[in-house]
Amino acid sequence: MKVFIAADHAGFESKNRLATELEKIYTIHDMGPYELDPDDDYPIYAKKVSLAVKENPGSMGILICKSGEGMSIAANKINGIRAVTVDSTEEAIETRKDNDSNVLSLSAKELSGRELLDISRAWLNTNFSGEERHKRRIEEISEMERELL
């Protein structure tokens, strides 16, 4: 599975550590930044990862910033992206099973390196349930994107 990963300055170190661990199992594509820039802007990286996920069906994206929230908001501006911010493995599993989330946004401030890894692994290892009610809801979201965005 292809996994696209990026961060802003607040998540830079966390992204590098997480990518090193995940590349033992997954095909990781680091979308930046490649050098720490305290003045970088998270929407740039959210867009890079989200477009890569959209253009590569079956791939997943991971974003890291201070809270995880800004990245998630920016990522969700791309049609077809279902970005989520979670802070536990349980939430990560549920959002994959029920929402077929394809971009995971994480907080560098609130989560330890171990938590980032555990949440990411749980999320990446969980498949969408395919239950009819969840498929219907995802299609309703897709209709909203077509109509409104």
pLDDT in tens, 7-47: 999 999 999 999 999 999 999 999 999 999 999 999 999 99
CA pair distance 19, 106, nearest whole angstrom: 13
- Asked if 9 and 33 touch (Cβ cutoff 8 Å), the reply is yes
In the chain the first and final C-alpha atoms are separated, in Å, by 29
DSSP string, 67-114: SSHHHHHHHTTSTT--EEE-SSHHHHHHHHHHH---EEEEETTTS-HH
Count other C-beta atoms under 10 Å from residue 3's C-beta.
Answer: 24
Q: What is the CATH number of domain 2-148?
A: 3.40.1400.10
pLDDT value for 98: 98
pLDDT value for 149: 65
pLDDT value for 134: 97
Residues annotated as catalytic (active site), given as ranges: 65
Give the mean model confidence (pLDDT) for residues 65-92: 98
pTM to 2 decimal places: 0.96
Q: What is the pLDDT of residues 93-137, one digit of tens each?
A: 999 999 999 999 999 999 999 999 999 999 999 999 999 999 999
Residue 140: which pLDDT band, with cuts at 50, 70 and 90?
very high
Sorted by where each begins, the domain ranges of the chain are 2-148
